[in-house]
Amino acid sequence: MAPVQFVGRAALGAVRALGQAGILAAGAVRALRQTEIWVPHVVTQMARVGVASVPIALFIATFTGIVLALQASYTLTGAIPEYFVGTLVGKTMILELGPVLTGLALAGRVGANIAAELGTMRVTEQIDALEALAYDPVAYLVVPRVLAGLIM
């Protein structure tokens, strides 16, 4: 009976997490009407999400391009002329590999940054202070970050 209970608990946990995410998303959509709260913070979050991530994106693109060029040059030696390797690497990086790797790395970086920041705010009771001051924490903290992520 223990395996059945384990599967049931895991399924209930997944449904509970999905429900909490839905409640947060509904709260964020509802908070979009409170523009006086979140509009001033969107530009700041855009700078943190987009502009601060450019060095990491360039770093990833550079080293991925180097590895791809070396691997393509080694693999395709004798099959095609070496001066085609640059074109191959450029097209592959721009069209295929670059956007995927950059997106994954930036999603990890930005997601970890936001999770750490909001987690610290929860632990130090800053979110409770916002609620005590009659601010909607979702409108003040979540909406600017979500919009900045969507825009950037």
pLDDT at 99: 83
pLDDT at 103: 85
Q: How far apart, in whole angstroms, are the C-alpha atoms of residue 94 and residue 68?
A: 12
Q: What is the domain extent for residue 50?
A: 32-151
The answer to whether residue 10 sits within a structural domain is no
- Number of domains making up the chain: 1
The answer to whether residue 20 sits within a structural domain is no
Q: Judge whether 140 and 130 are in contact, CB under 8 Å.
A: yes
The answer to whether residue 25 sits within a structural domain is no
- For the segment 49-67, the average pLDDT, to the nearest whole number, is 85
Q: Between residues 57 and 117, which one has the greater pLDDT?
A: 117
pLDDT at 87: 78
Q: Torsion angle, CA of 60/66/70/75, rounded to 10 degrees?
A: 50
The answer to whether residue 97 sits within a structural domain is yes
The answer to whether residue 27 sits within a structural domain is no
The answer to whether residue 123 sits within a structural domain is yes
At 145, is the secondary structure helix, strand, or coil? helix
The answer to whether residue 56 sits within a structural domain is yes
The answer to whether residue 58 sits within a structural domain is yes
Q: Could you tell me the pTM of the whole model?
A: 0.75
Percent of the chain with pLDDT over 90: 39
Q: How far apart, in whole angstroms, are the C-alpha atoms of residue 48 and residue 147?
A: 12
24-46 residue pLDDT tens: 999 999 998 888 888 888 999 99
